[in-house]
Structures are given as C-alpha cells and as structure tokens.
C-alpha cells in the first residue's frame, strides 16, 4: 500500500547540520519530494530527486536516496533559524502525479 513515514520532531542548534529521514513504500515512484511548510502558510517545494539518482545537492540541501531500502533523507547544512518549519517527504504514486505525503517532521532551530 501507499505509506510514507517520517520522524515527527528534530531539534538542532543554529549552525549545525539537520538530517530528516523518510521511508516510503511505492517502489515505482519516479520522483520523491521534500516540501516545506511554515506556520500559517501553504506547502512549498524545497527540492526533489529523480528515482534513478542516489544524491542531489542544491546549495545547503543534500538529498540522499536509497532505492533498495526505500529511504530518503534531507540534509540541511548550516541550519538557520529561518529553516524552522515542518518538512514533508512525498512520493508520487501511480501514473498521475498523485503525491502521498508523510506526517511531517517539525524542525526546531535554537541558538
């Protein structure tokens, strides 16, 4: 079935790296996504990775994909207070880009 799981909470010190983990179930997903949701705001795409890639780097963001274990991670380098938000992992399910989301990981950045 379709299921995406994430840890619910992560607390880091400003300047440290954050690593948010996710497991998914649909091995046919062609893309996997990380969305960010700030308080009172909608979801914004942060980054994505194509399923035939192992890694993608985009400035402070690094996405790692382990297809064998169906494990996805998002690393944020030099985490800032502005990175405090909820981060959602999502897989696209089936052929119609229906995204299935995890419950979200709340990232808290403290001084």
Partner 1 sequence: DTGVSQDPRHKITKRGQNVTFRCDPISEHNRLYWYRQTLGQGPEFLTYFQNEAQLEKSRLLSDRFSAERPKGSFSTLEIQRTEQGDSAMYLCASSYLAGGTGELFFGEGSRLTVL
Is residue 94 classed exposed, middle or buried when 0-12, 13-18 and 19+ CB atoms within 10 A define those classes?
A: exposed
Binding site for partner 1 (CB under 8 A): 4, 30-31, 33, 35, 41-45, 48, 50, 88, 90, 92, 96-104
Nearer to partner 1, 58 or 111 (CB): 58
Min CB(42)–partner 1 separation in Å: 4
Judged by beta carbon, residue 59 or residue 111, the one nearer partner 1 is: 59
CB-wise, 42 or 111, nearer to partner 1? 42
DSSP per residue over 81-102, as a string? GGG-EEEEEEEEETTTTEEEE-
Minimum CB separation of residue 27 from partner 1 in Å reads 16
Closest C-alpha to 17, from 73, 55, 70, 56? 73
Distance in Å, CB of 39 to partner 1, minimum: 12
């Amino acid at each position: 079935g379709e299921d995406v799981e994430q840890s619910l909470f992560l607390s880091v010190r400003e300047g440290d790296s954050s690593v948010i983990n996710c497991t998914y179930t649909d091995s046919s997903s062609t893309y996997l996504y990380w969305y960010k949701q700030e308080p009172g705001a909608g979801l914004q795409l942060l980054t994505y990775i194509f399923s035939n890639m192992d890694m993608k780097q985009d400035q402070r963001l690094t996405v790692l994909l382990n297809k064998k274990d169906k494990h996805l991670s998002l690393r944020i380098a030099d985490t800032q207070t502005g990175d405090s938000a909820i981060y959602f992992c999502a897989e696209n399910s089936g052929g119609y880009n229906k995204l299935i989301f995890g419950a979200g990981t709340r990232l808290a950045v403290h001084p």
